Amino acid sequence: MKFQMLWLTLVLLAIEATSTAQGKNTTIPALIVFGDSIMDTGNNNNLSTPLKCNFPPYGKDFPGGSATGRFSDGRVPSDIIAEKLGLAKTLPAYMNPNLKPKDLLKGVTFASGGTGYDPLTAQIMELHKLGARKIGVFSAVPVGCVPLQRTVFGGFLTRGCNQPLNTMAKQFNSKLSPALDSLDKELDGVIFYIDIYDTLFDMIQHPKKYGFEVANKGCCGLGTLEISYLCNSLNPFTCSNSSAYIFWDSYHPTERAYQVIVDNLLEKYLSKVY
């Protein structure tokens, strides 16, 4: 269970700034992203792994309707954050065979679906040595509330959120936040903690407040177990309006849900970037 929790949620966002000066004149030339399927923009397409999604209906709301290897109906947070920072509308995958050197100037994502916790992550000091000057680390999310966990652990009839998994996520966050605060003091204002748990939990508990209709199942198929190859074009039950759903498949949010989450987080944390 612990691995499943981290598989979904542990993401590292590294932002380089051209100047150590803080303020409106500071520019952000590149966005470098590390993480799992939440941030993957297609790295798994060219890796030997069963965790792929470069086939319909994934990507049905992506520009051109292309299944690019993003675990969503459209764009993912790495894309949306890059756009919000004025860098690019989408962030390329490092393993993309069409990646050009000039693309690296605005950033790239190394995220890969299925990635879990690696002790080397705690050595993010190396990123600082390489020039990263703003590093945001996302908290774990309420993984017990994703549709798959509701189906497996939430009760056959009720499919409620699994509290033990959510408790594990909160315990992980309670250790992560002070650890990052301590490291931030050592690096003099370089690293910061991004709390995503409360935002997503509130969205799931009060979907209509955010303009969603469905929060307990995904859009793809029946939305209870479908993920990766189980979410395919042969399934006749996929919804027609994914923007009404918080989740696209049984584990990953829709592009619209990501938009809401990113807007909320940037409003809260953008001042830490500059």
CA 43 to chain centre: 14
Tell me which of 37, 72, 139, 242 is the catalytic residue: 37
* Gap between the Cα atoms of 36 and 40, Å rounded: 6
Tell me which of 78, 242, 250, 252 is the catalytic residue: 252
Could you tell me which of 257, 232, 235, 262 has the C-alpha nearest to residue 246?
257
* Gap between the Cα atoms of 125 and 76, Å rounded: 27
The count of C-alpha atoms lying within 13 angstroms of the C-alpha of 191, restricted to the half-sphere facing its C-beta, is 22
Tell me which of 61, 78, 249, 250 is the catalytic residue: 249
Query: Among this protein's residues, is 37 annotated catalytic?
Result: yes
Query: Among this protein's residues, is 249 annotated catalytic?
Result: yes
Could you tell me which of 77, 105, 109 has the C-alpha nearest to residue 92?
109
Residue with token string 């966005």: 31
Amino acid symbol at 228: S
Compute how many other C-beta atoms are within 10 angstroms of the C-beta atom of residue 24.
6
| Catalytic site positions | 37, 249, 252
